[in-house]
Chains A and B, each alone.
Chain A
Amino acid sequence: MAKHEAAPPIPMPGAGGVADEPGFAKGNHAGGEVRTCDTTGLPVCLNAQFFIRVNAVMAVVSLLVGGICALLLGLTRWPAVHLLSAEWFYRVLTAHGLNMLIFWIIFMEIAILYFVGTTLLNTRLASKKTAWVSFVLMVAGAVITNAMIWMGKADVLMTSYTPLQAHPAFYLGIILFAVGTLIGVINFFATIYIAKRDKTYNGSVPLVVFGGITAAIIAVVTLLHGAGIYIPTFLWSLGLIENVDAAAYRLVWWGLGHTSQQINVAAMVSVWYLIATITVGAKPLNQAVCRGAFVLYILFINLASAHHLLVDPGVGAGWKIWNTSYAMYLAVLASMIHGYTVPASIEVAQRKNGWNKGLFQWLAKAPWKNPAFSAVFMSLVIFGFIGGITGVTLGTEQINIIAHNTLRIPGHFHATVVGGTTLAFMGLTYYVVPLIFKREIVAKPLARIQPYLFAAGITTMAIFMSFAGSYGVPRRHWDVGFSGAQLAAGFDSTAHLMLGIMGIGAVLAFTGLLIYILITVVSVFFGPKIEDRPMKAW
């Protein structure tokens, strides 16, 4: 394809089932509040477009803050470098956790919900005012929380386990962010409702929207847990209640902490389906099975959060075994279904495109130079092969005892949340910028290698984190050399080697992340404008 050739029409989810059908044009948009995308042909609600943009910008800002923290942490846990002091290590770790796992991901998810809720259903955003309230609360919450952390008033890590106590404003910031998110999610549900009421689409909602609804339902469950634990903790920090039971805190908090990561999983899987459709024209193999898998997430994923409490004395063995050795596997089954159907739908589409030779010609001839595709496919592989396999194993009650609170745990979730979700969201950005911000991506050769660099870095980091954890290296620990300890302690040279390679992986991943942010920011502000023409092809 010539370098500046316009992209061929992009087959969007619903384009076959909705856009081409009579009735699709009957959107419920007011005059002047909708445009037709020149690349996809889909209607874009201008109010939604604005809020997709501002939420995406805040997501990238959070990613930058969290990414810088990640580099500092990687260089501190690399024993030969050991960059930060103990005090700053825990401060930066707190900021890293919240900016990466909460702010970056959830701002991006709200942007995704507004996109799938409006554009794919040809409807207007339910309420502009509500979207403003949601956004302002989320930004205020993120700013207040960050301010408290950087002022040194909340060195309690992301989990903020009681009896560790932070400044009340820290908890207030998180509550504001959670309330803002909940309002955004309600606005999404209202958008779905008015689309249904106004008959702006035919039949069932597209699978990607179904995935978005799944993410939104899990978000409600998550946020209710958040309210359930952060409100009493906030009152405790103000001195209005005497104490918050540490065991109860952990039980309820993980209903927020783990379940929030399942919003990511549902959103990430939706992005997999979306990008597979956009890039190679893939269609879900079986709608009922794929939707059924999303329902499994809703029903069972919250129970999987019990694996965080596998060494807690406050809950019984039966509770632990039921949740982690039975219920959790039904959520894992859902991921395995998606992990099969997404690449299989790509394979079927590629074979239909003529790449039929042997077992893997479809894969070899896939659009690997398109960073959206490469990011999503690598996200799928890293999530399944590293994150999934380690997750199921570490979640087994008996095995967990040799891994609990070691670096194997962050080794697992960096593969799922960073190698999986963050990489998939990065891939999505390479279409969000041209289609929503209406700007071409700049420095395309650099953009093409960015997902590979980030994936290589995060894979190296996650694997060697896990190896170091296998040697017993603890997580959340500033000095594995235990310098100044009364008794000689520490780990052998192999563990230090693993930590060193982990540090190199962190530097590589940060380089990939920085390139992503630079490309995104420069493209959004200075990229060539896309007016009355399709985006240029990858």
Chain B
Amino acid sequence: MTETKKDESIAEKFEKEKEGEEHLHHAPGTMVLTLLLLLSFVVYYFANWKALADVWPVR
């Protein structure tokens, strides 16, 4: 380990790690696409349950 790294505080390490992660995973557009997928799934899934309930009613 280098001298600089030894001097680095825990807080700084966490701060750097956070920066690194943010850079690596900054994909807001993909997050929107993912939410769109989940929304489509929810609509389709419940439409199918509704269709099932319509053809096979429980009384």
Contact = CB atoms under 8 A, between A and B. Distances in A.
A285 B27 CA distance: 10
A238 interface: no
A301 to B, nearest CB: 19
B54 to A, nearest CB: 9
A286, A363, A385 — which one has the most chain B CB atoms within 10 A of its CB?
Answer: A385
B44 A390 contact: yes
Interface residues of A, number: 27
Given A339-B37, A389-B37, A344 B48 contact: no
Interface string B1-43: 0000000000000000000000011111110111001001100
B24 A384 contact: no
B33 A343 contact: yes
A344 B21 CA distance: 13
Nearest to B33: A343
B45 A393 contact: yes
A389 B27 contact: no
A373 interface: no
A390 B48 CA distance: 10
A339 B38 CA distance: 12
Contacts of A54: none
A427 B41 CA distance: 27
A475 B24 CA distance: 46
B49 A285 contact: no
A328 B26 CA distance: 30
B29 A363 contact: yes
Given A385-B37, A389-B40, A359 B28 contact: yes
Contacts of A348: 24-27
A393 B48 contact: yes
A384 B37 contact: yes
A348 B31 CA distance: 12
Interface stretch (A113-121, A398-406, A488-496): A398-406
B28 to A, nearest CB: 6
A401 B52 contact: yes
A347 interface: yes
A398 B33 CA distance: 29
A234 interface: no
Interface residues of B, number: 21
A340 interface: yes
B25 A344 contact: yes
B6 to A, nearest CB: 27
A343 B41 CA distance: 19
Contacts of B25: 285, 344, 348
A390 B37 CA distance: 12
Contacts of B28: 359
A343 B44 contact: no
Nearest to A345: B27
Contacts of A286: 24
B35 to A, nearest CB: 11
A285 B24 contact: yes
Contacts of B49: 398-399
Contacts of A390: 44
A392 B41 contact: yes
Contacts of A403: 48
Nearest to B28: A359
A389 B48 contact: no
A351 B41 contact: no
Nearest to B45: A393
Contacts of A339: 34, 37
Interface string A469-483: 010000000000000
B39 to A, nearest CB: 10
Contacts of A360: 29, 32
A362 interface: yes
Contacts of B55: 402
A347, A351, A360, A403 — which one has the most chain B CB atoms within 10 A of its CB?
Answer: A347
A393 B44 CA distance: 8
Contacts of B37: 339, 384-385, 388-389
Interface string A359-391: 110110000000000000000000011001110
B40 A385 contact: yes
Nearest to B46: A393
A344 B32 contact: no
A399 B52 contact: yes
A402 B32 CA distance: 32
Given A348-B24, A402-B52, A359 B29 contact: yes
Q: Which 4 A-B pairs have the closest CB atoms?
A: A344-B27, A344-B30, A347-B27, A359-B29
Interface of B: 24-30, 32-34, 37, 40-41, 44-45, 48-49, 51-52, 55-56
25 contacts: A285-B24, A285-B25, A285-B27, A339-B34, A339-B37, A340-B30, A344-B25, A347-B29, A348-B24, A348-B25, A348-B26, A351-B26, A359-B32, A360-B29, A384-B37, A388-B37, A388-B41, A389-B44, A389-B45, A392-B41, A393-B45, A399-B48, A402-B48, A402-B55, A402-B56
